[in-house]
Amino acid sequence: MTDITISPLRQRLIEDMTLRNFSPKTHWAYVHGVKILAEFLHRSPTKATADDLRLFRLHLVDRGYSVHMINQSLAALRFFYRVTVPRDDLVATIPYIKQPEQLPVVLSQAEVERLLAAAPGFKYQVMLSTCYAAGLRVSELVNLKVADIDSSRMVIRIEQSKGNKDRYVMLSPDLLAMLRRWYRQERPEHWLFPGMVAGNPLTTNIIRWAVRRATQKAGITKRVSPHTLRHSFACHLLENKTDIRVIQVLLGHARIESTNHYARIALGAIGDLTSPFDLLPREAAPPA
């Protein structure tokens, strides 16, 4: 914050988020959102006006912030003025910016196979295979513990993921074989994929680096990230006729709408459909 008098205000904001069990990531994002408003105003955000907030939104756009980053800052301000410093008159003047709807990048099964084979070493091959085989977010992957692998029930337990929810996903027999080989080789004690610092899990940046290296080596020209493996997992399930409500549960989506957009990119499922044009009655073709 720009003014020392705002420090108690920041503490109250943190306490309000703590009472609602917000994640550490949300804590950082909301504090940062209020902080950049204070820096823009050069005074306490408690004294902001509706016109101030309008100019602030324009400022974020002019600075080239992404739509996601702008809406994250606006979400922070909406919480701040709804809970920490109740100002209903301001909350109504902080609309979100409409985000362009973009379909995610999805790999074919052949491309996934090439990507996994091109991973920079067995360690990363196991991690990327786990991402794809279970449809995990990268944050879920790095926080996996040895105890989360339940081979007796052939499931993987995902603890306190997005939205502070637990869920189970399937444990592929082929993945289990890889994980057992990994365990015999490394003997991890707590974290399935320990980090460089003793007692800490691996960082997400390492996974992103591994995906970039594998993508280049595999000669894949698509823009690939660890999340691409999760998108591909969902699409390939849908193409194999898996019920979309089952996919919703596996992905941990709170709303079915979040899962439905995969129906627009599951090209295998689309290709198997019959066009009504092919069902039209046809007259016999005239003789040549």
- Look up 230 and say whether it is catalytic: yes
CA–CA dist 127, 178 (Å, integer):
10
- Look up 162 and say whether it is catalytic: yes
Choose among 170, 138, 173, 175: nearest CA to 157. 170
Q: Which residues contact 283 (CB under 8 A, 6 or more apart)?
A: none
- Look up 253 and say whether it is catalytic: yes
Which is the catalytic residue, given 114, 167, 227, 261? 227
Q: Which residues contact 106 (CB under 8 A, 6 or more apart)?
A: 228, 231, 232, 235, 265
> Which residues does residue 201 pair with via DSSP β-bridges, in sequence order?
194
- Look up 262 and say whether it is catalytic: yes
**CA pseudo-torsion sign 217, 133, 101, 58:** negative
Which is the catalytic residue, given 87, 137, 231, 236? 137
Which is the catalytic residue, given 82, 162, 167, 261? 162
Residue 212: how many CA atoms within 13 Å on its side-chain side?
Answer: 6
For the chain, the C-alpha Rg in angstroms (whole number) is: 24
Phi-psi bin for 187: left (phi > 0), alpha (psi -120 to 50), beta? left
- Look up 59 and say whether it is catalytic: no
Which is the catalytic residue, given 57, 87, 230, 236? 230
Beta strands per DSSP E along 84-237: 149-150, 155-158, 167-170
- Look up 35 and say whether it is catalytic: no
Which is the catalytic residue, given 12, 32, 208, 253? 253
Active-site positions read 137, 162, 227, 230, 253, 262
